[in-house]
């Protein structure tokens, strides 16, 4: 971990608290905010996701972090979310902006004279050009993938099909908007959210 000697350095927990408040206060009706949302069944997690009419992902890099893992996270998240935003402390704002694609948004956290952390949007996120149904399907559990096949494809999923095979099946036959809407409906379900927290 990078050690920052700056007395005004901002921690991940401080950024997360400010970001959660910002996302919840600005959320559309029915949208939810999730911490540590798993991508492709626990293989990778985005720090915060806001789920509503769009799937929005937010990756946090505090003043005490490094950017070593960011390249892999860009790849992992790139096929999934409608929009992605990097949220950094001031120390990583410039290198962070260079490390992500131009369509990613950028929010910078800074501490004011009173010690409070505020967020400034430096770059608005654009529509993700790499979004793919196969990758979006990776947000679902196997039982949900089987339900998606029945609901969206009109055919029962083979009982012995793996998660990867079901994701590929959905990717071949279901559009990004249709699958995104199905996934969002599952992720905002409160019973599902409770089970997710237990599994995590």
Alpha-carbon 13 to chain mean position: 17
Give 109-144 pLDDT, tens digit per residue: 999 888 899 999 999 999 999 999 999 999 999 999
Per the prediction, the chain carries an average pLDDT of 90
Q: For 7-26, what is the mean pLDDT? A: 92
**74: three-class secondary structure by DSSP:** helix
Residue 60 in contact with residue 12, Cβ under 8 Å? yes
Rounded CA-CA distance 12/2 in Å is 13
Please state whether beta strands 105-111 and 83-88 pair in parallel, antiparallel, or not at all (unpaired): parallel
Phi, psi angles (nearest 5°) of residue 118 = -120, 160
Domain boundaries, the chain: 12-123, 133-199
User: Is CATH 3.40.50 correct for 12-123?
Assistant: no
The Cα 19–Cα 15 span in angstroms is 6
At 161 the three-state DSSP class reads coil
How many other β-carbons are positioned within 10 Å of the β-carbon of residue 141? 16
Residue 103 predicted with pLDDT over 60 = yes
- Please report the pLDDT score of residue 14 as a whole number: 95
pLDDT at 40: 76
pLDDT tens figures, 33-72: 999 998 876 578 999 999 999 999 999 999 999 999 999 9
Given a contact cutoff of 8 angstroms between Cβ atoms, the answer to whether 32 and 19 are in contact is: no
């Amino acid at each position: 971990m990078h050690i920052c000697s700056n007395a005004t350095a901002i921690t991940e927990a401080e950024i997360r608290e400010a970001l959660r408040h910002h996302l919840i206060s600005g959320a559309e009706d029915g949208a939810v905010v999730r911490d540590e949302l798993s991508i492709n069944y626990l293989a990778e997690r985005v720090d915060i996701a806001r789920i509503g009419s769009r799937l929005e992902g937010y990756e946090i890099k505090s003043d005490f972090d490094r950017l070593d893992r960011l390249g892999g996270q860009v790849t992992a998240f790139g096929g999934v979310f409608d929009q992605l935003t990097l949220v950094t402390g001031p120390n990583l704002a410039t290198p962070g902006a260079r490390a992500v694609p131009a369509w990613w948004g950028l929010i910078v956290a800074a501490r004011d004279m009173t010690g409070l952390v505020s967020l400034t949007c430096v770059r608005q996120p654009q529509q993700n050009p790499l979004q793919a149904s196969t990758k979006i399907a990776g947000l679902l559990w196997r039982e949900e993938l089987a339900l998606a096949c029945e609901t969206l494809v009109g055919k029962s999923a083979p009982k012995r099909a793996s998660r990867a095979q079901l994701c590929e099946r959905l990717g071949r036959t279901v559009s990004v908007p249709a699958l995104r809407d199905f996934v969002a409906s599952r992720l905002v379900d409160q019973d599902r959210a409770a089970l997710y927290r237990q599994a995590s």
